[in-house]
Homo-oligomer: A and B are copies of this chain.
Amino acid sequence: MTVAPVTLTAVPGIPPIGPRDDVAAILVAALVAAAMTPASGDVLVVAQKIVSKAEGRIVDLNGVTPSARARELAAKVDKDPRLVELILRESSEVVAHKPGVLVVAHKLGFVLANAGIDRSNVAPPSDSGPDSGPDSEPVLLLPVDPNASAAALKARLDDHFGAALGVVVSDSVGRAWRNGITGIALGAAGLPALRDLIGRTDLFGRRLEVTQTGFADEIAGAASLVMGQADEGLPAVLVSGLSWREPAADATALLRPKDQDLFR
């Protein structure tokens, strides 16, 4: 018995994305140009950055006036007060900080450093839209609603390819206790972001004690292996060969509610 492999294939040829670009159309064109034809059950993992850029989630730090609270916190964490102001605006809670590190609960529910705000791979001023100027300092916020972004991409891709796809909007974040960032799912559509193994048995017929797996997070981490974090510029990966039997559920299933969380 041989089991069909799972394959992770980067979608080549995706150009730099800017505000108001139609990411779905760009992804379809890139898939078609590469002769990659997604089939039902395939999952397209899309980097948060291109989703956020298309949604115009770029802010020029020069237009941000830090509050007293932001200035005070910025001094403690040794970060730009304007960036800290944006982080606080995006967040519901500061979870932990030390010099160089600011971990918050994003209003969307994610616990992550800097509210997911990114200064890398944000286009220089000329590409950043009407608010930019020669001295602008653009940063990129998370998508407004990553699950909705995933669902919208899925609808367009499903329609074009005549298939029922999964879509994951991914980001790479740090973790408690372990070094190194890894991919996680900010948003998901068309697949069970969290898989529930309740009722399944182990090899010896006993009920499993641990019952839930972070399916969409493992998919995002796997895709991250081929996306590259730096200059490769491969922001979409097609994952084929997965299977599941649970109903689709979006990535909010992966968020541990604060009242069940021992670490904030």
Contacts and interface: CB of A to CB of B under 8 A. Distances in A.
26 contacts: A3-B10, A5-B10, A6-B9, A8-B222, A16-B203, A98-B262, A111-B178, A120-B209, A120-B210, A122-B204, A172-B210, A175-B175, A176-B256, A176-B262, A179-B194, A179-B214, A179-B254, A182-B217, A182-B218, A200-B229, A203-B233, A208-B230, A210-B229, A218-B225, A219-B225, A221-B221
A227 to B, nearest CB: 10
Contacts of A153: none
Nearest to A127: B204
B224 A96 contact: no
Contact of A225 (B197, B200, B222): B222
Nearest to A201: B231
Q: Assign chain A's interface to a size class.
A: 35 or more
A202 interface: yes
Contact of A3 (B12, B175, B197): B12
A224 B203 CA distance: 16
A144 interface: no
Which 10 A-B pairs give the minimum distances between C-beta atoms?
A: A180-B214, A222-B222, A176-B263, A111-B177, A176-B176, A5-B9, A96-B262, A221-B221, A218-B221, A120-B202
A178 B125 CA distance: 36
Contacts of A177: 110-111, 176, 255-256, 261, 263-264
Residues of A contacting B: mostly: loop
Contacts of A253: 179-180
Contacts of A10: 3, 5
A104 to B, nearest CB: 11
Interface of A: 1-3, 5-10, 12-13, 16, 34, 96-98, 101, 103, 110-111, 118-124, 172, 174-184, 194-195, 197, 200-204, 206, 208-210, 212-215, 217-219, 221-222, 224-226, 229-231, 233-234, 241-242, 253-256, 261-264
A170 to B, nearest CB: 11
Contact of A221 (B118, B119, B203, B217): B217
Contacts of A215: 180, 225
